[in-house]
Amino acid sequence: MHASETVPGDTVPGDTIPGLASRQLAWQVLQAVAAGAYADAALERELASLARTGGGLSAADRGLATEIAYGAIRQRLLLDGWIDALGKVSALRQPPALRWLLHVGLYQLLFSDRVPAAAAVSTTVALAKRVGLGRLAPVVNGMLRSLLRRRDSLAGAEPWDGLPLPADAAAALALRRSLPPWLSAELLGWLPPERAEAFALACNAVPALDLRANPLRTTRDALLERFTAAGVAARALPGAPHGLTLLERVGDPRDLPGYADGLWCVQDRSAQAIAPLLDPQPGQRILDACAAPGGKSTHLAELIGDQGELWALDRSEARLRRLDRNAERLGLTCIRSLALDATAPAEAKPHWQGTFDRVLLDAPCSGLGTLARHPDARWRITPEAIDGLVLLQRQLLEALLPQLAPGGRLVYATCTVEPRENGGLIAALLAAHPGLSLLEERQWWPEPPAGERGGGDGFYAAVLQAPA
């Protein structure tokens, strides 16, 4: 029987139980991600499907569905650990539909402050009945109540308290913070234990929503005043001249003041530090080699006052169309987008060689600095995949260095903390190109939460200069 089918006696009318539709949508997202979908795309697809059938959720219910889906995906390993401890069948041997439904209930009991325990249990049991798992509803009820009994005396406990932890430090960190065991072991090799713990904490935080004011159309202070007048809580970001961050949850950011007028765009605070490292100047010829969806391209265009020639390359025409729309909204005219493989620009554009004052390579990478923002990424990345990425990154650098004019500057950036993709790669490049100079090298680590929301993503940047 398919998980979404029902049998007589199983069905519970969804409209009689508040919040049941939110839980069902979250459960469907978990199944889609387990089958290979990306979390954000799966959530968007399920919300759109529900809206088409006339069952659209309120803003509060959308928020609850998002919290449960993203949170349960982040906490997959820990939630599986609880299933292993509480059930007679291990998590990996559970029917997938039941495993993800248990994750919906367990996540609420362990992590959600706004859902009473009784509501978490009752709605999960009702969901089991609604989606054709009614015969397993007693199992669901028993496991969730067993968790509550085990943790009844643990006031203010951590989500793993009451769960047996491995003696091995890396395995224990992986289980407590729901990280892939290979990544947990690597972290403890890169960082002292307290910093590895901070990284893991940052990966599980709800990410901040940071914005970048468009200095060609407004100032950060003026934008903050507009937000205040509209009742939107925000503050300036120190160290980011045009950056601000929202202090509360919002619905669709496109509904915020100034979006349609091109006064701002969404960009993480760490990402806002990358384009200025190029020291771009008005009138220069600039290449953004892996540009889509365009946050750094538009930032570069703003920094040069929209005066110059900025080529934005990407292999994906669809992603470039998104860049073009954003540039148009921001009123930027100097960006010229082109669908092109940046590993071989000389073949398509031989006359480009030696002509660019500035080159930005925001390289494809493992994304280990953005695990809070992409909850499913930690389960997709493998050490073997990173090996392939390092080869691609080196190939891109070797193809782009010849595009630099004498004395030109190239910034290599990633959103990862993996040393092989960052400092190790740049050290090997410099050894192979003695005339190349390293002007600056920086690693940003993801910031643990300060208040309700997390801080910036993890980024790396190396500033390279060609010989004059």
User: Catalytic site residues?
Assistant: 415
Is the CB of residue 130 less than 8 Å from the CB of residue 11? yes
Instruction: Say how far apart CA 228 and CA 236 lie, in whole Å.
Output: 12
Angle separating helix axes 20-34 and 117-130, nearest 10 degrees: 70
**Cβ count within 10 A of residue 456:** 27
3-state secondary structure 228-294: HHCCCCEEECCCCCCEEEECCCCCCHHHCCCCCCCCEEECCCCHHHCHHHHCCCCCCEEEECCCCCC
Distance CA 125, CA 122 (A): 5
CB burial of residue 335 (10 Å; 0-12, 13-18, 19+): buried
CA-closest candidate to residue 183, choices 389, 377, 364: 377
CA distance 83 to 312: 48
Phi (first) and psi of residue 140, to 5 degrees? -60, -50
Strand order in the sheet with 210-213: 234-236, 243-246, 210-213, 264-266
- What is d(CA 67, CA 26) in angstroms, rounded to the nearest whole number? 8
468: DSSP letter: -
Q: What is the β-pairing status of strands 285-288 and 356-362?
A: parallel
Structure-token pair, residue 416: 């990862």
Name the helix (H) or strand (E) containing 385.
helix 383-400
DSSP letter at 207 equals P
Proportion of the chain in helix, strand, coil states, percent, rounded to 5: 50, 15, 40
- Which of these, 300, 307, 309, 329, lies nearest to 242 by C-alpha position? 300
Q: How far apart are CA 338 and CA 359, in angstroms?
A: 15
Instruction: Tell me if residue 361 falls in helix, strand or coil.
Output: strand
CB–CB of 401/66 below 8 Å? no
